[in-house]
């Protein structure tokens, strides 16, 4: 039993909910590092508390007290940790690693997974489909490489959170397709759609700083969730805060979940070749095998997936930035691993490209769902905007599909459609008017474009592109979310074809 009598005297009556929440946290949290941090605050013991006051783990403060009750700093920390909790929205969760209900830790993830499963059961009970989707098709779970042990006292990671989620679903006899290793985000919605799963979960913070991780949710159609799912899941989380069982002890059982995922990786790359590659044989025969392209994974998971996407297109191998090639949760060479930031994030890639004579740089963000593109013309590196690459991809995909329609492919006579969010360029709208294809704007966010693309396909359209100016692109129908892996291969193929004609990417941009 935790001694909190002195602490209770220091809390006002209106703050008693914070004290109760903290006590429940200590009772329910199985992770020793986060549990002890809260326990020390409650008892007033000396403790080193890091990353719990909104600093994302960047500060460290030592709390010490010889009294029977904690000092005011402890109370302030507890208020920060247990006043309210992370809000589950259409983008899921994203927050720093750390203890308490306003950070990402094993207990908040467990509660989220329980709430999600409870909501899925409610939906399927209402639709009378419980035995045909959730309990037969199951869920897909992937994770990135993020972990907190190198910069906080807490033993937390995206992998742990994926395993906690898997344990929750497996304990209720739900099949779990758990990726065995780090995975690029696009593989999760692809697999979700492929097996007709009830949902897909990706534990990642994308391009956020190292202190963060997140919990991203895809619905059974492979698109990110939209209202009212977010509010309903949030309600079920609050209704299922107490662990259903001794889940910490049950984590070992996750190792026994043997749901194959390797085959889906192969099918994903096969789909890239059959659906998105314009000239596989021509790429293989290409005369330009010199180092045309330098690639960086930005310390994320993208390298092996980008390499396989090039192979799927028959392209020669890119030159990698060695310092940023392997997954590194400390993001050792960049404080903010967002390739959209330009030279500050891409300095090493530019130096490597100059050494080997590359004229183009491709950069995935850490979870490989976005793509930045640079080109050297006239001795200077130029970072293309998301709108510029979106427009170039629109041009490329339109020409590709017009050609395939003329050749009588299986999509012949399907009208072409493209999507962009309201914050993106209006250029494709003008092109659509001239060329006679459908162009629509959606609200900001791929959740809207992914779901709208599904509706348009059900109406008979061939949706060849959806994009947003924040360097997110979805080409074709392989996934219904932004996909930096496929976009990298498509841009690389464009570079090869333009090089054969003697021109740079900027030629298309200017035209």
Catalytic residue positions, numbered: 206
- Contact indicator for 386, 470 with CB cutoff of 8 Å: yes
Q: Look up residue 220 and give its two tokens.
A: 């059974």
Please state, as a whole number, how many other Cβ atoms lie within 10 Å of the Cβ of residue 217.
Answer: 24
Q: Considering only CA atoms, which of 232, 257, 246, 259 is closest in space to residue 121?
A: 232
Which residue carries 């107490």 as its tokens?
Answer: 242
Question: Tokens 């199985």 map to which residue?
Answer: 30
Pairing of strands 472-475, 462-468: antiparallel
Chain centroid, CA 497 distance in Å: 31
Q: How far apart are CA 139 and CA 220, in angstroms?
A: 9
Furthest C-alpha separation in the chain = 82
Helix axes 262-276, 187-194, angle to 10 degrees: 100
Pairwise CA distance, residues 21 & 53, whole Å: 17
Distance between CA atoms of residues 501 and 282, nearest Å: 14
Q: How far, in Å, CA of 165 to CA of 105, rounded?
A: 12
- Output the six-digit token pair for 104: 């990402």
């Amino acid at each position: 039993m935790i001694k909190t009598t002195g602490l209770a005297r220091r809390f006002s009556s209106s703050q008693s909910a914070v004290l109760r929440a903290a006590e429940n946290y200590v009772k329910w949290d199985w992770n020793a590092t986060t549990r002890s941090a809260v326990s020390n605050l409650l008892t007033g013991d000396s403790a080193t508390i890091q990353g719990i006051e909104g600093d994302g783990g960047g500060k460290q403060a030592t709390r010490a007290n010889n009294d029977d009750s904690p000092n005011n700093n402890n109370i302030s920390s507890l208020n920060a940790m247990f006043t309210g909790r992370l809000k589950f929205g259409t983008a899921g969760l994203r927050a720093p690693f750390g203890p308490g209900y306003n950070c990402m830790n094993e207990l908040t993830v467990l509660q989220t997974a329980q709430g999600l499963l409870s909501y899925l059961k409610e939906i399927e009970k209402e639709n009378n489909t419980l035995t045909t989707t959730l309990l037969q098709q199951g869920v897909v779970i992937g994770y990135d490489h993020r972990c907190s042990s190198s910069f906080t006292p807490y033993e937390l990671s995206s992998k742990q959170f994926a395993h906690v989620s898997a344990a929750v679903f497996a304990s209720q006899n739900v099949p779990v397709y758990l990726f065995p290793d780090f995975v690029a985000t696009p593989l999760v919605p692809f697999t979700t759609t492929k097996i007709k799963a009830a949902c897909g979960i990706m534990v990642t913070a994308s391009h956020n700083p190292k202190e963060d991780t997140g919990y991203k949710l895809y619905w059974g159609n492979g698109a990110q969730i939209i209202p009212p799912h977010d509010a309903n899941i949030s309600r079920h989380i609050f209704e299922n805060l107490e662990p259903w069982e001794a889940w910490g002890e049950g984590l070992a059982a996750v190792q026994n979940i043997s749901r194959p995922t390797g085959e889906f990786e192969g099918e994903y790359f096969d789909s890239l070749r059959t659906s998105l590659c314009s000239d596989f044989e021509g790429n293989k025969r290409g005369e330009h095998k010199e180092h045309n392209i330098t690639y960086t994974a930005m310390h994320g998971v993208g390298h092996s997936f980008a390499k396989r996407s090039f192979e799927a297109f028959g392209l020669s191998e890119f030159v990698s930035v060695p310092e940023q090639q392997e997954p590194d949760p400390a993001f050792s060479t960049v404080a903010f691993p967002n390739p959209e930031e330009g030279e500050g994030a891409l300095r090493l890639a530019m130096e490597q490209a100059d050494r080997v004579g590359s004229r183009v740089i491709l950069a995935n963000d850490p979870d490989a769902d976005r793509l930045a593109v640079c080109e050297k013309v006239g001795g200077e590196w130029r970072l293309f905007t998301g709108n510029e690459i979106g427009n170039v991809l629109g041009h490329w995909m339109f020409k590709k599909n017009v050609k395939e329609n003329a050749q009588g492919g299986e999509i012949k006579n399907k009208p072409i459609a493209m999507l962009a969010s309201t914050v993106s360029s209006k250029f494709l709208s003008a092109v659509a008017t001239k060329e006679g294809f459908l162009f629509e704007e959606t609200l900001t966010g791929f959740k809207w474009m992914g779901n709208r693309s599904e509706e348009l396909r059900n109406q008979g359209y061939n949706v060849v592109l959806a994009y947003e100016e924040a360097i997110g692109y979805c080409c074709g129908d392989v996934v219904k979310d932004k996909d930096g892996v496929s976009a990298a291969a498509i841009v690389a193929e464009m570079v090869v074809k333009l090089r054969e004609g003697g021109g740079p990417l900027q030629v298309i941009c200017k035209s």
